[in-house]
Structure 1
Amino acid sequence: MREILYLQAGTFANYVGTHFWNTQESYFTYGEDENSFVCHDVSFREGLNAKAKATYCPRLMMFDRKGNYGALARTNSSLFSEEISSSSDLWTGPTAEYKQRQVATSPYQTKLASTPDGIEEFSPNPKDVRYWSDFNRVFYHPRSLCMLPDLPDWQDPEGDWTHGVETFSRYNQETDLMESSVRLFLEECNSFQGMQVMNDTAAFGSFTRSFLTTFRDELSTAPSLVVPLLSDAAPSQRIPTKAPYTSKIINDALYLRDLHELSLLTVPIQTSKTWTSMTGKSLNLDGSLYHASALLSAHTESVTLPLRLTSSRESMDTFAAQLNWNGANQFSQIGGIFPVAFQEPFFEDILDLSIPSRHISMNCFARKDVTRGLDTPILQAYNDWSSSFQSTTFASVHMPAYPLPSSFPDFFKNESILESRNKLPPREVDRNSPRVLRVTPSVTSLSFLASTSETGKLFAAYAKYIETYVERRKSGEQVSMGADELDGLRELSNDLWTIHDGYSIDTDELYSVEADVVDGDGDIGE
């Protein structure tokens, strides 16, 4: 079945992941004559709960601090009820019971639970979204909920490389992670193709790196596709006086350097502050994690869609090989247009989430595009635009429009996109029932993955920053990163320059080849 094991680590990663799984849920079909273009068994696992009730849940492990789960433990209990042991047989004397105040269920979850068939026409109010679980629409297996202990208010783990390593070590010893959750998930697979990872780098970079190292020791041939969400500290020639800023940069650099060996394909994401400000023409983003994660999820879900198509020939190995055209380009950029406007020149609105730039380099080593819902005239305009790229390999997939479940934020400037949530065409009325049938609205989009020389500039920026920091390091200043000696920093800088050199290839060597085009049913055309 080409199964994938998913891993999410960190608050922002779980915000993005929640949107991702809500989108997967919207692909399910329930009519006897309906067929989905997505193979759900790639991402979901089938099983039974304690009451022998059939379950269909994401094949997922999600890591976050316990306090960031919100009310998920209760909203998830209708499918998987927790067994609570009683101590009454052990103690018959007086007892004093202390309970922590429960997190209130969000208004969206309350309405979702009370609406027949889970069909509703409303979006969550952004002010009501306190946790990523507040807009969740799927049930998770208990093995998926990996709750880490909360930290005291005075402790900040962001940029602390050593803290992440120690946290993973303790959690792995307490839960026997690989032999319990991971192995049990993998034993349910018929043809495991790899692991897809998304994590916050600032607080969970070294934690995820430790997980990937342990995972690779167990399954050395299993590939990984990793999407690191970089911290809000950007490398520059100017060295700030505050150590936490430098710690985050070095933490990001260490994680990216190690992913060069641990991951088959890595797609770094810049802090949302660098790209949400560029979407003013089409979206009303409020700067919240709820809004930013929706946009990021739309692109990551779309570009990885070929791995989940029913009739797809793609595997994680072939998927990454098309982008890593010379064996030295494990890093790619992600971006696109969401939504696609229907007036020229709409491709000027393309957004790069990996490199803080409004334009994509026209000289690509390799590129993979996924369009969603483009009609014939717009598709022709897309073909004319994409033919101007110079690349060694190019592939495009044309799929149905991107679905917008009710959990997706209403942040579109074009109000007609979500009209179907409030305004129903006559053909959608069920005359045999007082309940009105509604359809999930959708939106056109373009998402891409590209390997270009621009990626090398990212590593050059980190290398230059570290070199400058080493030269100007003040006496007594310490950085908690696990490699805080000057020799370790110099080695890190050299490794980053080595990765950079893999993207410094003369573009005159690039040649054009015939593009593979995949149509809406997932078949590759000539």
Structure 2
Amino acid sequence: MYEIITLQLGQRSNYLATHFWNTQVRRRLSAPESETDAFQESYFTYSKDEESLVDHDIHFRPGLGADGSETFTPRTLIYDLKGGFGSLRKINALYEIEEPIVPQDLWNGPTVVQRQAAIGQSAYQQSLDSGIEPPPLTTESVRYWSDFNRVYFHPKSIVQLNEYELGSALMPFESWSVGEELFNSLDKEHDLLDRDLRSFAEEADHMQGIQMIAGVDDAWGGFAARYMDRIRDEYGKTAIHFWGLEDGLKLIQREKRYSKLANTARSISEIAPQASVFVPLTMPATVLPSYVTVDGHSPWHVGGLLSTVLETMTLPSRLRLLHGSRASFDQLVNVLNVNGNQNIAKIRMSIDQNSVPNGHHRSARLETRARSRDPRLPSQERRSQDAPTSQVDRELKMFDMNFFPAETGEQSQGRRAVKEPHVFGQAETYRADEQKEREFEETEGEAGHERARRRAAGLPIIQNTTSSLGVSTSLSTDTTVALRIKNLQYTVSRAVGVDEREALSNSLGEIAEAYEEGWESGSDSDDD
């Protein structure tokens, strides 16, 4: 079935992943206005006459609830600190059973029960549980990622780390080494791989890969690095896509900014060499397009935007095996990692303004195309061997949101203007209702550049059942990665202790070399 197991590490990853799971499936309300309106928000289909384009078995696992009823829950592990789950309970309505009554004759004396006050459900969650239409979400009403969650999780997916508390000033979970030490301690006591991950891996028929989402500029980077070590020891040949989340640095004090950059440098040095693909992900540093309104201080808003780019880019990995429409994790790796050691990729996105809610109507010409097959299916693979570099450069400028971390002011001082990046490998995914076909195109030019294009159905809008978004994403390996790594190398020389500075700097230098133009046998230097 080519299953994908997801690991969510920390608050930021859980905000993003909650949007991801909500996009896959919507919990049904008791009295929808119509069958079409009730389920138009998700990829799931509930009619025997209609088959979804998405193979839900890839990300979801069948099971049995406490009452023997069939369940369908995400193949995911959710790690968070104490207090980070909000009102979400480990045992939900699908698996809840009556608690056994403790015999009263075990203790004759008085008992005193001390219980921490439970976090109350949001009005949104209360409405979902009652089967009524929930109120609109706002930045004020979303206190935790569980406040807008629409999915039931299996109890073994919920892993709370009680050693640290969310938002604690006394024991902040910020330093990379703190996360590393926490994982080592828990793994020594419990063997986390055996306790948490193994059951998901063993029930998979043919595991396509593991998708890890974690912050890299705080303690979760250290936790993820050691987790990656254990996974690689056990599943050495499994494709692992790592999404590394970073906060913006513009409004952060100088000392904390250097601390975050040092954490990021350690994460890249430790995680990137072991990942199949490593994708840094942060809010765009430049002004967002006018059609996007995001509150940068709201993790709910930020998570929604980041989820859109992640969900779109990975969509081909969960499509059904119809007419070659699926593109696995391994296929994406082969497109991006052309020379064998270029696995850090830059991701960008653009949204079709004609598909934005309250925007213009879509082209009638495109909507009325006649097809002899399912119009939702991607088209047959098409290949071209002659795409000129200038065409590639123009297409690189199509994407008006860049989620690759930008250098800080201190790092960019005195640097010369950067020339047009040299692209080693690129994969693009386009999705829109007016273009319900898939175009897959690989181009290998003189510089070894490869590009893959895919087109598929539009992104469902969770709170608007009348439309979906046309989204374009690009994932590429190019020379700007070298600049980013060298900037971190410069930071290491000022923010990291002497005892580990040299080793970390050398590691980053080796990584950066793979993304310099002409790295492979000087292929471009001979063009003149």
Query: Which bin holds the TM-score, normalised by the shorter protein?
Result: 0.7 to 0.9
The alpha-carbon deviation at position 396 of structure 1 amounts to 0.8
Shift of 1:391: 6.8
Q: Deviations over 1:288-342 (max 9, x none)?
A: 1111110110010010111101024432222211100111201001111134458
Name the amino acid aligned to 1:506. Answer: G
Task: State how 1:431-450 maps to structure 2 within 5 Å.
Answer: 439=465, 441-450=467-476
Deviates more, 1:95-104 or 1:260-269: 95-104
Task: Report the alpha carbon displacement of residue 68 of structure 1 after superposing the two structures with TM.
Answer: 1.1
Q: Identify the residue that residue 489 of structure 1 maps to in structure 2.
A: 501
Higher alpha-carbon deviation: 305-314 or 85-94: 85-94
Partner of 2:401: 351
- Partners of 2:302 and 2:399 in 1: CA distance: 17
CA contact (8 A) 1:363 1:389 kept: no
Alignment correspondent of 1:286: 295
Relative distance call for 1:491 and 1:50 in structure 2 (3 A) is same
Aligned to 1:452: 478
Shift of 1:153: 3.1
Q: C-alpha offsets along residues 431-473 of structure 1, whole Å, 9 cap, x if unaligned? A: xxxxxxxx45311111111111111111010011222x17xxx
Q: Which residue of 1 aligns with 2:68?
A: 52
Match of 2:461 among 404, 409, 426: 404
Q: What is the alpha-carbon distance in structure 1 between the residues aligned to residue 334 and residue 445 of structure 2? A: 23
In the alignment, the residues of structure 1 paired with residue 487 and residue 270 of structure 2 have an alpha-carbon distance, to the nearest angstrom, of: 17
Quote the Cα distance in structure 1 between the aligned partners of 2:157 and 2:72.
Answer: 13
3-state SS of paired residue (2:89): helix
Superposition deviation, residue 77 in structure 1: 1.5
Q: 2:308 aligns with which of 294, 298, 316?
A: 298
Do 2:4 and 2:207's aligned partners in 1 also have CA atoms closer than 8 Å? yes
Query: Out of 28, 37, 46, which is 1:30 matched to?
Result: 46
Asked if the contact 1:231/1:252 (under 8 Å) is kept, the reply is no
Give the 3-state SS of the residue equivalent to 2:330 in structure 1: helix
Conservation of the 8 A alpha-carbon contact between 2:342 and 2:477: yes
Of 256, 261, 280 in structure 1, the residue corresponding to residue 268 of structure 2 is 256
Give the C-alpha shift of residue 261 in structure 1. Answer: 2.2
Match of 1:146 among 140, 159, 167: 159
Question: Higher relative CO (CA 8 A, sep ≥ 6), structure 1 or 2?
Answer: 1
Matched residue, 1:64: 80
Aligned partners of 1:363 and 1:245: how far apart in 2?
29
How many Å separate the matches in 2 of 1:17 and 1:360? 35
How far has the Cα of 1:80 moved from its partner?
Answer: 2.0
TM-score (normalizing by structure 1): 0.78
- Contact 1:3 1:43 (8 Å CA) reproduced: yes
Partner of residue 424, structure 2: 365
SS in 2 for 1:216: helix
458, 482, 501: which is aligned to 2:513? 501
Q: CA–CA distance in 2 between the matches of 1:179 and 1:252?
A: 28
Q: Which residue of 1 aligns with 2:198?
A: 183
Structure 1 stretches lacking a partner, 5+ long: 407-420, 422-438, 471-478, 512-526
Contact 1:403 1:440 in 2 (8 A): no
Distance 1:293 1:389 in 2: 39
Q: Which of 152, 155, 161 is equivalent to 2:176?
A: 161
Is the 2:177–2:219 Cα contact (8 Å) retained in structure 1? no
Counterparts of 1:82 and 1:246, CA distance in 2: 49
Number of the residue aligned with 2:220? 204
User: Structure 1's 256 and 82: CA in aligned 2 closer, same or farther, altered over 3 A?
Assistant: farther
Most deviating of 184-193 and 79-88: 79-88
Identical-pair percentage: 30
Match of 1:13 in 2: 13
Contact 2:350-2:473 at 8 Å conserved across structures: yes
1:75-474 equivalent positions in 2, closer than 5 A: 77-81=92-96, 84=99, 86-89=101-104, 90-115=106-131, 120=133, 123-149=136-162, 150-151=164-165, 152-158=168-174, 160-201=175-216, 202-233=218-249, 240=254, 242=255, 244-270=256-282, 272=283, 274-275=284-285, 278-287=287-296, 288-311=298-321, 312-341=325-354, 350-356=400-406, 363-373=422-432, 375=434, 392-406=449-463, 421=464, 439=465, 441-467=467-493, 469=494
Pairwise CA distance, 1:99:
2.2
Cα deviation, residue 226, structure 1: 0.2
CA-to-aligned-CA distance 1:480-499 (integer Å, 9 cap, x gap): xxxx4x24211211111111
CA distance in 1, matches of 2:2, 2:420: 33
Contact preservation (8 Å) 2:127, 2:134: no
Q: Is the 8 A contact 2:3 2:59 kept in 1?
A: yes
**Greater percentage in helix:** 1
Matched AA of 2:19: H
Structure 2 segments unaligned to the other structure (5+ residues): 26-41, 361-393, 408-417
Shift of 1:280: 4.6
Cα distance, 1:54–1:374 mapped onto 2, change above 3 Å: closer
Instruction: Give the CA deviation at 1:374.
Output: 5.9
Q: Determine if contact 1:197/1:227 at 8 Å carries over to the other structure.
A: yes
1:375, distance to aligned residue in structure 2 (A): 3.2
CA distance 1:131–1:440, shift in 2 (3 Å): farther
Q: How many pairs are equivalent?
A: 447
Q: Structure 1 segments of 4 or more deviating over 6 A?
A: 386-391
Shift of 1:395: 1.0
Q: State how far apart, in whole Å, the 2-side matches of 1:355 and 1:459 are.
A: 11
How big is the shift at 1:115? Answer: 2.9
Cα 1:313–1:280 change in 2 (3 A) is closer
Contact in 1 for aligned 2:243/2:279 (Cα 8 Å): yes
Secondary structure of residue in 1 paired with 2:50: coil
Task: Give the 3 Å change call, closer, same or farther, for CA 255–340 of structure 1 in structure 2.
Answer: same
- Give the 3 Å change call, closer, same or farther, for CA 122–94 of structure 1 in structure 2: closer
Question: Cα gap change, 1:489/1:387 in structure 2, threshold over 3 Å: closer, same or farther?
Answer: closer
CA distance in structure 1 between the partners assigned to 2:98 and 2:170 by the alignment: 34
Letter of the aligned partner of 2:349 in structure 1? G
Note closer, same or farther for the CA distance 1:387–1:499 as it changes in structure 2 (3 Å cut): closer
Instruction: For 2:423, give the aligned amino acid.
Output: C
Amino acid at match of 2:460: P
Distance 1:15 1:365, change over 3 A: same
Tell me the TM-score normalized by structure 2: 0.77
Paired residues of 2:346 and 2:403 also in contact (CA < 8 A): yes
* Partner SS for 2:280: coil
Per-residue deviation, residues 418-441 of structure 1 (Å, max 9, x unmatched): xxx4xxxxxxxxxxxxxxxxx453
Query: Does structure 2 conserve the Cα–Cα contact (< 8 Å) formed by 1:391 and 1:510?
Result: no
Q: Which residue of 1 aligns with 2:31?
A: none
Answer yes or no: is the 8 Å Cα contact 2:246–2:281 preserved in 1. Answer: yes
